[in-house]
Amino acid sequence: MKTSVITLSNITKSYFLGETTIEILHGISLKIYPGEFAAITGPSGSGKSTLLHIIGLLDVATSGTYLLHDKDVTKLKEDRQADIRNHEIGFVFQSFNLLQRASVLENVTLPAVYAGTPTTIREDRAKELLEKVGLSDHIYKRPNQLSGGQQQRVAIARALMNDPSIILADEPTGNLDSKSGKDVMEILRGLNKQGKTVVIITHDPALANQARKVVTIRDGLIAKT
Ligand code: ADP
Ligand code: MG
């Protein structure tokens, strides 16, 4: 039996707004195995992004446990979580989240700056990654000089900078035309073939069907696995 790389047990998430508490996730239990390609799907507002942010250590659960590589990360201090996130997880956002005032190359090197990798090593690696996503000719441009599809490929290169074993993508094709969306999916599938664990959120059934595992979230609960 392979052991899971991501193990969520009874995860809840509540937001405290003044006097009232709203529970968004009501007890999610989920296992993701190494090398898996999983899709999280479900209606808008059902809690998909909240769940992926918890998996990506960008947010913390209110209760429940989260094991990452068999290690309980639920109650780690914030700086320790940031450290694990920077090394183990690459996150791709729907709206790319690139720094507009930095060059493409600088955007991609950023996770390695935080990790303390020496300049020449990180720049060589960033150039290599940008070549892999077909952007060698654009490394000194600003993100807003690129198309949406190109920007998302920059974001993927950035996600790969510290060679994480897990890639999380929140509607990575949501802001793209269908051709660019296909290219981005192709890259994510290629990364999965190379052994990375990939979890994507999509509300596009055609994309979800390309995944080997589909998790449907409805009103903060898993409807179907
Ligand atoms: P999805 O990604 O499936 O569209 P989200 O996880 O973004 O859903 O949001 C789920 C619910 O949580 C929504 O009703 C949203 O309004 C609410 N929500 C998200 N973030 C916050 C927040 N910071 N404070 C309060 N409510 C939030
Ligand atoms: Mg969302």
User: For residue range 2-50, what is the model confidence (pLDDT) as tens digits?
Assistant: 799 999 999 999 999 999 999 999 999 999 999 999 999 999 999 999 9
Please report whether residue 1 resides in a domain.
no
Q: Which pLDDT does position 204 carry in this prediction?
A: 77
Ligand 2 centre distance from Cα of residue 185 (Å): 18
pLDDT, average across residues 169-187: 95
pLDDT, average across residues 84-90: 95
pLDDT, average across residues 178-186: 94
Order across the sheet with 37-41: list the strands: 89-92, 166-170, 197-201, 37-41, 213-218, 221-224
Please report whether residue 77 resides in a domain.
yes
Which residue lies with its CA nearest to atom 5 of ligand 1? 47
Name the most confidently modeled range: 71-80, 89-98, 196-205.
89-98
Q: Which pLDDT does position 224 carry in this prediction?
A: 64
Please report whether residue 150 resides in a domain.
yes
In the block, which residue shows the tokens 């920059």?
154
Of 17, 22, 24, the one to substitute when testing ligand 1's pocket (max ligand atoms within 8 A of C-beta) is 24
Residue 206, pLDDT > 80, answer no
Beta strands 197-201 and 213-218 are unpaired
Please report whether residue 136 resides in a domain.
yes
pLDDT, average across residues 163-179: 96
CATH code assigned at 152: 3.40.50.300
State the residue range of the domain holding 191: 6-224
In the block, which residue shows the tokens 């090398």?
35
Percent with pLDDT over 70 in the chain: 99
Residue 203, pLDDT > 90, answer no
Ligand 2 centre distance from Cα of residue 175 (Å): 12
Please report whether residue 30 resides in a domain.
yes
Residue 213, pLDDT > 80, answer yes
What are the residues whose beta carbons fall under 8 Å from the beta carbon of 35, sequence distance 6 or more?
A: 192, 195, 196, 197
Residue 225, pLDDT > 60, answer no
Residue 170, pLDDT > 60, answer yes
Q: Which atom of ligand 1 is nearest to the CA of 53?
A: 6
Residue 1, pLDDT > 90, answer no
Specify whether the CB–CB gap between 47 and 217 falls below 8 A: yes
Q: Which pLDDT does position 7 carry in this prediction?
A: 98
Please report whether residue 202 resides in a domain.
yes
How many domains, in total, are found in the chain? 1
Ligand 2 centre distance from Cα of residue 45 (Å): 7
Q: Which pLDDT does position 2 carry in this prediction?
A: 75
Listing DSSP states for 187-211 in one string gives: HHHHHHHTT-EEEEE---HHHHTTS
Specify whether the CB–CB gap between 224 and 216 falls below 8 A: yes
Q: Which atom of ligand 1 is nearest to the CA of 50?
A: 6
